[in-house]
Structure 1
Amino acid sequence: MMALIDLRSDTVTHPTDEMRRAMAAAEVGDDVFGEDPTINALQERAAGLMGQEAGLLTASGTMSNLIAALAWCSRGDEMIMGQEAHMFWNESAGPTALAGAQIRLVPNDVNGRISAQDVAAAVRDSSNIHVPATTLVCLENTHNRCSGGVMTPQDTREVVDVAHAAGAAVHLDGARIFNAAVALEVPASELTKDVDDVSFCLSKALSCPVGSVLCGSEEFIGKARKWRKMVGGGMRQAGVLAAAGLVALDSMVERLADDHANARRLAAGLANIDGLTVDEDGIQTNIVIFEVDREKVGDAREVIAALREDGVLVSHSRDQALRMVTHRHITAGDVDEALSRVNGTVRRMAGAA
């Protein structure tokens, strides 16, 4: 049978052998009582890498983002975020449904950045009783729906300055923050030092089976811990999961450069396939989003189905856009084989169009 090449997401990665050994040997305790030494070590390590005072292990990036909204916002407050934000598109309206916060959207540019000027224009006048209070601004780095685009420290600082001047906190959805750090060749803490809190995922490009870490001040994490309990996030002896996270932070960050190189290789190949359009120069990390010409090739969802039959798994981004994500299970040879299969699929569909 034809081997599947899975480019749907870096969430499909499996733990390494080293992670499995660490998980089997992990020293554990009851984390709800704060007694799991492996979780405590992971939280301390993560906070240090993010330049924050404390950390909190959560089940997922979505849980971390929700907890941040709950901690910063009261019911009836307003959050500002980009119109392509993962928190808006892919988290089941949690901040609105559970935190009771209204979401106000501002434009993202092609790299996923939001401008300080747009944020300033969107901030509400706190003296006006007719409008909600702006209490939180949310950033995303790298940007999931904008081809893994990266925010620089300066990009972040400009928005933070506006938010803080308005009395609002800044939450950074840094699910793939280490991809951004590797792409910019700076420590992750350079990308997080100005925000009020940050979450990052262990279960994406870092290849762990489960988990994210939310980092911020001691006071913020104290609030976050209570909200985590309230939403069912007390995981007891989860040191078996945290052990994989410690291995990941030691061994999986530098290799992200390989994923970025494979993503650029992938984008360059897609750009040479008639009927597909991709901004190959805009690929900064491990996400490649490209457009399918409906007239030449067909509907994007039909293309996904056809590619699956040809052994290439991809995801739907929006409209006629498809997404491919490189990760540790994808080699340069896999990229070349995937491109060969995609070319064949597209040519076949174009011939039938």
Structure 2
Amino acid sequence: PGVIVLENPHCQSGGRVLPASYIKEVRELADERGLPLHLDGARVFNAAIASKRTPAEMAKDFDSVMFSLSKGLAAPFGSMVCGTRPFIDRVRRYRKLLGGGLRQAGFMASAAIVALQTMVDQLIEDHRRAQLLATKIRDIPGIRLEPSVIDTNMVFFRLEQDGLSVPDFLAALSQRGVRMGTLREGVVRAVLHYLVSDHDVDTTANAIRSVLQAEPR
């Protein structure tokens, strides 16, 4: 192995925040083996908000960090990589080798600055609405939250209704103006963001209920 990578928050665990104690254990393992530790922090600002820590505190045990500007922070595009100067010099070279160079990038940087300056506190609302959605759908027959605890802005649930596949469920939701996705068999993922209002959460919960209560064809 050449590097250990941790994702925080961890998507496949339902958007849960990794415990600080676990990260320290992995840091010790990396040090024992002489390996760098990288943080895939696409939503690390969500993890920071959820755990009431700063992004710097979330990143302090890592040698390098990547975070996305276009997810919770709502910039139109882009990600940032942070690390030592020699590391960033290597990143720049490989980025260019892989076609990631861009001229006239100032407009991208401007959008990134706006996102970092104005959107971080908004993540609190995204988390609140995710918890609100979970509360509204928790007791709908045919829905099982997985996991039941909501840390960030993602709600995962498993369909437990005979005769209704995830693709059919998602298609029926889409017809009602609600779009979700799936990352693993039988599990649906809903991601809350700044364009989703409390009214939209109500609409989403009602759409889910409508699909699951519809008469089978």
1-structure distance, mates of 2:84, 2:93: 14
Aligned to 1:112: none
Match of 2:130 in 1: 263
The match for 1:217 among 78, 84, 87 is 84
C-alpha contact (below 8 Å) 1:267/1:279 kept by paired residues:
no
Superimposed CA distance per residue, residues 288-319 of structure 1 (whole angstroms, 9 cap, x where no aligned partner): 11000142x51111101111111111112211
**Aligned equivalent of 1:327, options 193, 196, 216:** 193
TM-score of the aligned structures, taking structure 2 as reference length:
0.96
In structure 1, distance between residues paired with 2:161 and 2:166:
7
Q: CA deviation at 1:280?
A: 6.5
Q: CA deviation at 1:152?
A: 3.5
SS of the equivalent of 1:324 reads strand
Partner of 2:178: 312
CA-to-aligned-CA distance 1:214-261 (integer Å, 9 cap, x gap)? 000111111111111111111111110011111111110011010000
Task: Tell whether 2:25 aligns with 1:158.
Answer: yes
From 247, 261, 274, the counterpart of 2:114: 247
Q: Is the 8 A contact 2:176 2:207 kept in 1?
A: yes
SS in 1 for 2:3: strand
How far off is 1:145 after superposition? 2.1
Q: Distance in 2 between matches of 1:189 and 1:153?
A: 13
Residue matched to 1:141: 8
Q: Does the 8 Å CA contact 1:294/1:300 hold for their aligned counterparts? A: no
Poorly superposed stretches of 4+, deviation over 6 Å: none
Distance 1:165 1:280, change over 3 A: closer
Counterpart check, 1:342 vs 2:184: no
Structure 2, gaps ≥5 residues long = none
* Paired letter, 1:325: V
Query: For the pair shown, which has the larger CA radius of gyration, 1 or 2?
Result: 1
State the partner residue of 2:149. Answer: 282
Q: Secondary structure at the match of 2:49?
A: helix
> Which of 232, 245, 249 in structure 1 is aligned with 2:99?
232
Structure 1 CA distance for aligned equivalents of residues 21 and 58 of structure 2 = 9
1:200 to 67, 74, 81: 67
Partner of 1:182: 49
Give 1:308's aligned amino acid. Answer: S
Q: How big is the alpha-carbon RMSD for the aligned residues of Structure 1 and Structure 2?
A: 1.3
Provide closer, same or farther for how the CA distance between residues 153 and 280 of structure 1 changes in structure 2, counting only shifts above 3 A.
closer
Identity over the aligned pairs, expressed in percent? 37
Q: Following the alignment from structure 2 to structure 1, what is the Cα–Cα distance between the partners of residues 103 and 158?
A: 45
Residue 279 of structure 1 and its aligned partner are, at CA, apart by: 4.3
SS at match of 1:291: strand
**8 A Cα contact 1:289 1:317, kept in partner:** no
Deviation sequence 1:130-164 (CA, Å, 0-9, x none) = xxxx2211100112222111123332121111112
Higher relative contact order (CA 8 A, sep 6+): 1
Q: Note if 1:352 corresponds to 2:216.
A: yes
Q: Which runs of 5+ in 1 are unaligned?
A: 1-133
